[in-house]
Amino acid sequence: MTNAYYRIQLNPKTNLPTSIRVVILTGTRDGTESKDKKITGGKHVAFHFEYELTEFGKLKKPVIPAEAQKLLAKL
């Protein structure tokens, strides 16, 4: 049994994302119950990931050397 959800927080002025939170819940079959977004009982595990996007829109486009572009074109 697996359940996952995410939440994206936006900057109200720019409408750009500032953070992403991902939660993944999983448990053993026949020993775990689920209610709403929660998994209870039995053997289960939860993974929580949170990413802050403080540099969103600030990174410059990478410069790829000509030789590397040729190699990438062959892929």
pLDDT in the model for residue 7:
94
Task: Report whether pLDDT(45) > 70.
Answer: yes
Q: Pick the residue with more confidence: 14 or 56?
A: 14
Please give the Cα distance from 1 to 53 (Å, whole number): 31
Residue 3 corresponds to which amino acid? N
Q: How far is CA 51 from CA 11, 22, 29, 43, 54, in A?
A: 14, 9, 30, 27, 9
pLDDT in the model for residue 9:
94
Q: Is 56 helix (H, G, I), strand (E, B) or coil?
A: coil
Q: In this structure, what token pair is assigned to residue 30?
A: 């026949």
pLDDT in the model for residue 38:
67
The domain of 67 spans 2-74
Q: In this structure, what token pair is assigned to residue 67?
A: 């030789």
If one counts the domains in the chain, the total is 1
Q: Pick the residue with more confidence: 44 or 10?
A: 10
